[in-house]
Amino acid sequence: MPVNVTYPGVYIDELPSAVRTITGVPTAIAAFVGPASRGPVNIARHITSWADFERLYGGLSTGSKMSYAVYHFYLNGGSEAEVVRIAGAGNAAATIQLRNGPELKAKYPGAWGNKLRVRVDYRTDPALGATVYNLTVRDTGSGAEERFPNVSTDASSPRSLVKVLKSSLLVTVDPADAHLGDRPDEDDPVSPGADPFADPGPGAPPSHRYAEAALGSGKDGGALGDTEFEGGATGQADKHGIFALLTTDIFNMLCIPDAPAATRLIEG
């Protein structure tokens, strides 16, 4: 704007520069699409390390070329990646029925969930009354274990089962389960120092040391074809399959090592 000259002297008029700073963008974000031993299906997740992939997708799997691709990406200095897990038709999450209580489900579909075991105990503060219990979940396949103390049968409580399991990487529960307000039966105590999730061994008498996944309830699903990678007839609209990457901000490399017709997928 013009300077208002009111008295003799030197005046400086600062004009905005026409130069605009070029904002840098990431140039090494890889996107991986394919099967994994566990993890969310048809959802893109951002990871920043191999440890993230192990925690969420189960690490290396002989049935997943993608898992090896991700492993070598980080082995060779990769930093950020977008991952989309694809699963075959008929995939299902394992179910675990608590005695006289709600039914839990594996967090994600797949046969991995068949190795889940759950224990209930009442070793809580007596002042909390008989409406709370402790829940311990172990994945006997990976050794991962989660413990949720003082779970409440009151749906409005911040410690209700639905709310506390939101942070779980192993199990979830249907908010409409009619038994959410029931306190599941306590499992049998174990000797001090003993592994509460150990197999009782052949010929052992029936016991209730833990609840386990219903036999074969967790399923990986059938073989993967174009349909699964493309997310079905409505894959683009539903952002399923490879189209789940539409929900990401940016990626510069795309890797689909398990796809039966990767070239057509990319060109299509």
Residues 111 and 60 in one domain: no
| Per-residue pLDDT tens over the stretch 72-101 | 999 999 999 999 999 999 999 999 999 999
Q: Same domain, yes or no, for 117 and 134?
A: yes
Give the CA distances from residue 252 to residues 152, 203, 256, in Å, rounded to whole numbers and listed in that order.
Answer: 46, 57, 14
Residue 82 domain boundaries: 29-89+221-267
Cα 216 off chain centre by? 21
- Is the pLDDT at 264 greater than 80? The verdict is no
- Confidence check: pLDDT of 230 > 70: yes
d(CA 261, CA 94): 31
pLDDT in tens, 187-229: 998 888 889 998 877 766 667 889 999 999 999 999 999 999 9
Does residue 260 or residue 183 have the better pLDDT?
183
Region for residue 39 given its phi and psi (left: phi exceeds 0; alpha: psi -120 to 50; beta: otherwise) = left
In this structure, is residue 146 part of a structural domain? yes
Instruction: Identify the band that residue 268 occupies on the pLDDT scale cut at 50, 70 and 90.
Output: very low
Q: Are residues 61 and 146 both part of a single domain?
A: no
How many independent structural domains does the chain possess? 2
Same domain, 103 and 176: yes
**Residue 16 pLDDT:** 73
pLDDT for position 201: 75
CATH of the domain at 85: 3.30.1490.450
| Tokens read off for 209 | 């040391």
What is the residue whose two structure tokens read 């979940």?
137
pLDDT at 263: 47
- pLDDT by residue (tens digit) across 17-45? 767 665 555 668 999 999 999 999 999 99
Give residue 202's pLDDT.
Answer: 74
Confidence of residue 129 (pLDDT cuts 50, 70, 90): confident
**17 lies in a domain?**
no
Domain match, 148 and 162 both: yes
The answer to pTM > 0.85 is: no
